[in-house]
Structure 1
Amino acid sequence: MPEDPRPSAPRRIMSLWFPRLAAEHLLRAAPGDTRPFAVVRDHGNMQLLWSLSAAASAAGLKPGQPLRDARAMCPELHTRLRNPQREAAFLTVLRRWAGKYSPWIAETAPESLLIDITGCAHLFGGEAELMEAIAGDCAGFGLTVQAGIADTVGAAWALAHHAGGTAAHNRTGDAVDAEARATRSRAARRHWVKGGPAPLAAAPAAPAGRIAPPGQTRSALAPLPLAALRLEPEVLAQLARLGLRRVEDLLNQPRAPLARRFGQALVLRIDQALGHVPEPVSPAPAERADAVRMTLPEPIGLETDIAAALDRLLPRLCATLEGRGMGIRTIRLQAFRTDGTMQWISAGLARPTHDPGRIRPLLAMKLSEIDAGFGIDMLRVEALQTEPVHREQARGHAEAGQAVSERLAAQTALDDLVTRIGARVGMEAVTRLHPGASHIPEKTAIVLAAAWSDPAPGWPAPAVPRPRLLWRPEPVSAPDAPRPPGLIRWRGRRLRVLSATGPERIAPEWWLDEPAWRTGVRDYWRVTVEGGERLWLYYAHGATMSAGWFCHGSFA
């Protein structure tokens, strides 16, 4: 079959930014409220503005401003605490809505969507008409949206977030826009009288959405501020101190000096925006939440009421997972308050299970951490992490005894103990030792997390007894000879050697360069000193470091 001679359509990306997502999402429940409104977030011992309504922005408030300063500027400001999970859920709803325009959509938290509109724009009359349709839908939803369309993800994001913005400078009083208005006007008029070109009028503000024609990504990015490249704030501050304010100031700079001074991330962002480095749009996977919820007719606040609701929710969730052959590894209980906020507790298990009796105590011990506030009107239990749990196979009479033995030898009690301790101190803090594949004394055991490892089937016994206590080798003052000394000085004590057994020669791992083994081959001796103390001494024959005696452990 002959190939299609028509060239493939160029890749086109649309970025949608909802700058007031959190605030307008909450205001949808009160459409007639015109008071200045802001969503705040906790930051240390203070609260900062996170998302503002249009009325709050008109009052001069800015995101990131301390709440106490905002109330001084706008006493009638109405605030709500930020709920990141609810914002993410609302962004997911918007992603589903945007599926009417393209099937290839990705979320870029916390307030943006990326849409691959390649081959889709003509269905709506063109890119401009598509942008108008999206703006109309968002206006009907009560949302503010800014859009950008370009050939690359970075360029579309830059146009959506910074089209029409001005490049900020890092100066204080030496910039023209920092001078008095009368001084600037006289300077402009004097420059015009002397024969120069007339002063330019202020450029009109660019529209909220902007389209970069195909193949013109570079020219569309050039006038934008450097923040359009998605750089870290520290890098932006360094570039501003050098007088670099716009993207065009970096596009013509040699890459090697930029990478050496500001890191590879700066060069990568430039290449991604220009399309030299691919940046795919990865759509969100199909959602399948393993969760159950209960909506309460009246708010509750007692711990016993929450526990009673948990007794009804947890068996339903476990029954669903059991039917799919899955077990819970991490579980979370969410309590939704009447004021729109939410609090949660979570617990992890050492082994996946769908037994409600083994899961409930983990959540019950943390119920006291939930602050009901003005009341809880909905509870939700979600299995955050699940793993397969093998079902029991039918067994004959010959295998019945073996099945009973396996069930009696099961580590369920130990797993429950690890789970309960881990719920208090963290799963990573509960560890167990496993034999290590090394002949080096300090490497004969490795530390593993008990929740993600099985007990060692057997610990190989060494040919020569090893001490119960090991520490970093400590210098011992003794004659520089490979024979056991008669008198040693260790930890500030003079000790007389009564007996010595050995030697056991241990060579370093020649394929590794370890600083502790640069003294070369060691001859270990089991030494008994005055007072009955049994020490593990070795004589290092010396390699890249000098020879000598060291104490490595104790048998007591």
Structure 2
Amino acid sequence: MAMDRWRLGAVERRKFDEKPFVLTADTAHGPRIAATSRPGAAAGARPGMMLADARTLCPEIITAVADPAGDLVFLEKLAVWARRWGPWSAIDGTDGLLVDVTAVAHLFGGEDKLLVDVAAAFTQREVDMRCAIAPTAGAAWALAHHAASGTILQQHEDMKARLGELPVEALRLDQDIVTVLRRLGLKKLGELSTIDSDAINRRFRNRKSPSANPLTRLDQLLGRIPEPLLPVIPQKVPMVQRRLLEPIRHRQLLDQVVRDLAGDMARELEGRGEGARGLELGLWRVDGEVVTRHIELAAATREAAHIVRLFARKLDDVDAGFGIEMLRLRAIWTEKLALDQSDIETASQNHGIALSTLVDRLAVRLGPGAITRLVPFPSHIPERAQRGQSPLEPEPTSQGQLAFHKRPLKLLDKAERIAVLYATPDGYPKRFRWRGEVHDIKRVEGPERIAPEWWRERGSTRLRDYYRIEDQRGRRYWIYRLGIIGDGRGDMPDWYLQGLFA
């Protein structure tokens, strides 16, 4: 599939149908072959082979860099297109599609004619394919990959006997599992039944993934246990466009069209009850070239004026050539945004700039990597309870975040050691020295005990007892005692100041 996608996008595609050609992926040991054309396979190149080894067999081999992300997008579009043969379709692995054809074959004149129609449609799109029909997804995949294309396995047939001659690779296992099975002398599916299932379970009992357990895959293939599938559901993307009567070349006219598109997009989003977080503007030139510009926003919006201001800086370097004849604006990322009633008097008095608007302007001017914001992180250690994140990324959900006691508004970058005087080793602190100044403690709240994160810290890490204190001048601090006397993890406990209350 990856090879077909690359070939369809090549200008001189026919030239690569006759020459050995491979797609490569960079690894720690050098380029490795990810996909190969038929002439490349005939020359000895195989997926997974190092490129250096392939060049030894065929020095004239042609290479290009693989694009897994682009291949996935292509496969998703192909899955939506394949719904013409069934109510839903799903992606199986990285190179296959599954289509539910239950009670559909009679619309095409039977299962045989259905497969003929599938083969004809893919041939017209110049995409190589192998297909099969079976009662389960695993059986259909196995027959399509390891049997003759167009094989049909009926519901009433003995699946175990029919599939028994297929190789163990038909179980969709990881390559290391296949290697282990072959070393055990198990080369066909039917041979798995000759071995005690308990012995195989003991061999692979630590394997949690279905692709690493041959018995789980065999049960899915025979329909003994269900196999969850995730259908590909197409979503309608909000889009507006303008086809111009005459091409435009001047920036003033371009800005006017962009304003019109932003207004149309705002009305489209308002009708859907959504706001845009990501927008793509496409400009079609007379010579056929398409220029695209993207923006991402810190918060969902459908304010046309704000969208126009952000795109204004993105259009400074656009070369109109002989003119732009069409513009298209798409909302590639949307979020729910409720309708609200604006207050005219409040709006007229508010001359400030919203935080999200300021972030959007800075991101367009400086780049999204130059701005960060603090977001909660699920950790009960105070200095780890928040992390920096790009403001254009989705906000983390509340699930998994811990509910803390009251924390100071200001935390020091690093807790500073202080000298503390206290009445008893486990009593409240009475006085402390910080940065050369002595503070008498008038009020104390605590302690709040925080244990170390055992999955990250060493076993010798000590507990923390936090205190909220107030000195004689009314200033409040957040201090903690590191360790307890007699805990066996060190000498006398140390004291640190970590935060300041407002």
Q: TM exceeds 0.5? A: yes
CA distance in 1, matches of 2:146, 2:386: 52
Query: Which segments of 5 or more consecutive residues in structure 2 lack a partner in the other structure?
Result: 397-404
Other structure's SS at 1:260 match: coil
> Which of 167, 173, 195 is the equivalent residue of 1:231?
173
Q: Which residue of 1 aligns with 2:487?
A: 545
Q: Which residue of 2 aligns with 1:3?
A: none
CA distance 1:474–1:526, change in 2 (3 Å)? same
| Residue 93 of structure 1: how far off its partner (Å) | 5.4
CA distance 1:110–1:550, change in 2 (3 Å)? same
> Which of 103, 106, 111 is the equivalent residue of 1:119?
103
> Which of 159, 165, 168 is the equivalent residue of 1:217?
159
Q: Which residue of 2 aligns with 1:102?
A: 86
2:34–2:66: 8 Å Cα contact kept in structure 1? no
1:95–1:107: 8 Å Cα contact kept in structure 2? no
Q: Which residue of 1 aligns with 2:445?
A: 505
Q: Which residue of 2 aligns with 1:414?
A: 355
> Which of 266, 271, 276 is the equivalent residue of 2:219?
271
CA distance in 2, matches of 1:269, 1:301: 60
Other structure's SS at 1:382 match: strand
CA distance in 1, matches of 2:57, 2:289: 25
Deviations 1:239-284 (A, max 9, x none): 5565554444555433642442433433343432232332355543
Which residues of 2 match residues 366-405 of structure 1 at below 5 A? Answer: 381-393=329-341, 403-405=344-346
Other structure's SS at 1:508 match: strand
Q: Which residue of 1 aligns with 2:5?
A: 22
Other structure's SS at 2:296 match: strand
CA distance in 1, matches of 2:290, 2:161: 46
CA distance 1:223–1:322, change in 2 (3 Å)? same
Deviations 1:300-353 (A, max 9, x none): 999999989866755543443344443211223568999999996643212211
| Residue 507 of structure 1: how far off its partner (Å) | 3.3
1:331 pairs with 2:316: no
Query: Which segments of 5 or more consecutive residues in structure 1 lack a partner in the other structure?
Result: 1-17, 164-206, 395-399, 455-461
Alignment-mate amino acid for residue 412 of structure 2: L
Other structure's SS at 2:268 match: helix
Deviations 1:372-404 (A, max 9, x none): 9xx99987543122134444548xxxxx6xx52
CA distance in 1, matches of 2:500, 2:261: 54
Q: Which residue of 2 aligns with 1:208?
A: 149
Q: Which residue of 1 aligns with 2:412?
A: 469
1:147 pairs with 2:128: no
| Residue 151 of structure 1: how far off its partner (Å) | 1.6
1:317 pairs with 2:257: no
Deviations 1:51-79 (A, max 9, x none): 55545544544456677856983748597
CA distance 1:133–1:520, change in 2 (3 Å)? closer
| Residue 152 of structure 1: how far off its partner (Å) | 1.0
Q: Which residue of 2 aligns with 1:348?
A: 296
Other structure's SS at 1:145 match: coil
2:76–2:232: 8 Å Cα contact kept in structure 1? no
Larger RCO: 1 or 2 (CA < 8 Å, sep 6+): 1
Q: Which residue of 1 aligns with 2:374?
A: 431
2:80–2:232: 8 Å Cα contact kept in structure 1? no
Q: How many residues align?
A: 466
Alignment-mate amino acid for residue 430 of structure 1: R
CA distance 1:472–1:276, change in 2 (3 Å)? farther
1:433–1:445: 8 Å Cα contact kept in structure 2? yes
Single out whichever of 354-363 and 333-342 deviates more from structure 2: 333-342
CA distance in 1, matches of 2:159, 2:77: 29
1:475–1:551: 8 Å Cα contact kept in structure 2? yes
CA distance 1:306–1:103, change in 2 (3 Å)? same
CA distance in 2, matches of 1:307, 1:48: 47
Alignment-mate amino acid for residue 58 of structure 2: M
1:35–1:55: 8 Å Cα contact kept in structure 2? yes
Alignment-mate amino acid for residue 36 of structure 1: K
CA distance 1:152–1:35, change in 2 (3 Å)? same
| Residue 416 of structure 1: how far off its partner (Å) | 1.4
Other structure's SS at 1:507 match: strand
CA distance 1:274–1:363, change in 2 (3 Å)? farther
Other structure's SS at 1:118 match: coil
CA distance 1:463–1:350, change in 2 (3 Å)? closer
Other structure's SS at 1:262 match: coil
Q: Which residue of 2 aligns with 1:156?
A: 140
CA distance 1:543–1:293, change in 2 (3 Å)? farther
Other structure's SS at 2:128 match: coil
CA distance in 1, matches of 2:42, 2:302: 53
Q: Which residue of 2 aligns with 1:260?
A: 205
1:135 pairs with 2:77: no
Deviations 1:421-474 (A, max 9, x none): 45634599323689x9x9x994998679766679xxxxxxx9999976374585
Which residues of 2 match residues 432-511 of structure 1 at below 5 A? Answer: 442=382, 469=412, 471-472=414-415, 481=425, 482=427, 498-508=438-448
CA distance in 1, matches of 2:258, 2:319: 16
Q: Which residue of 1 aligns with 2:19?
A: 36
CA distance in 2, matches of 1:244, 1:341: 56
CA distance 1:382–1:464, change in 2 (3 Å)? closer
| Residue 216 of structure 1: how far off its partner (Å) | 2.9
CA distance 1:125–1:365, change in 2 (3 Å)? same
CA distance in 1, matches of 2:299, 2:443: 45
